[in-house]
Amino acid sequence: MGLLKKIWALLSRPNPKFALGIILLVGFAAGVVFFLVFHFTMNATNSMTICVSCHEMEGVYEEYKESKHYSNRTGVRAVCSDCHVPDGKTIDDYISKFMAKLTIGSKDIYHHLIGTFPTKEAFDKERGRMAQNVLAYMRSRDSKECRRCHSFDAMNMEDQEKSAARKHKRVMESADKTCVDCHAGIVHKEQAEPDEKGKDKDKDKAAGSDSNKK
């Protein structure tokens, strides 16, 4: 009882130093709780189950399941967020991750709520535009999400086809192209590129999804 009395005495007697201490402590605790909730929400919304809960019917998921990024000889899988969301390991990337959630994520939820894509047909009409958005985003990051798993440094180019090795070596030296410039359509059905229509297709381009399917 003595302890309770002492605590009560401290709480009831106004002591500026003590009050400030309490405020700081409560503020700090609230900050920690806020950060934990924020951090875990960011990570929880990265799971494939969540993405697929909305993106199951449109084909993006089915196509992905046919790709080498879903299942391959060595058993390393890339899930949706591995390619679509920055990993947030550096402060810079943490901010990019948050921005991706804020912009792409809230757009996703908004369009889902207003029912922009009630049918697969409606989604298909928008796919070309979305593919371009995604590619533009990846180019702006110099395919950083791809490089999370792949690096020229770790590639044994002797093991690659001659044409691939030649292109990779050139890109490694000149950095004039980024991964997705040549490797669009690795997971999803490749969409026609509106800004490329009519023009010659990039002759550097690696084979599209179909020839890469297992």
- The least distance separating ligand HEC from the CB of residue 35, rounded to whole angstroms, comes to 21
Nearer to ligand HEC, 17 or 214 (CB): 214
For 80, counting Cβ atoms within 10 Å of its Cβ (0-12 exposed, 13-18 middle, 19+ buried), the class is buried
Q: How far is the CB of 41 from ligand HEC (least distance, A)?
A: 12
Residues recorded for the chain: 214
Whichever of 88 and 180 has its CB closer to ligand HEC, that residue is 180
What Å distances lie between residue 200 and 163, 203, 208, CA to CA? 20, 8, 16
**Spatial CA neighbour of 62 closest among 180, 187, 185, 186:** 187
The nearest distance, CB 213 to ligand HEC, in angstroms, is: 8
Q: Which is nearer to ligand HEC, 15 or 106 (CB)?
A: 106
Q: In sequence order, which residues have a C-beta less than 8 Å from that of residue 98 and are 6 or more positions away? A: 42, 88
Which is closer to ligand HEC, CB of 93 or CB of 184?
A: 184
Task: List, in order, residues 6 or more apart from 169 with CB less than 8 Å away.
Answer: 157
- Between 68 and 98, name the residue whose CB sits nearer to ligand HEC: 68
Question: Burial of 81 by CB count in 10 Å (0-12 exposed, 13-18 middle, 19+ buried)?
Answer: buried
Shortest approach of ligand HEC to residue 113 CB, angstroms?
A: 7
Q: How far is the CB of 152 from ligand HEC (least distance, A)?
A: 6
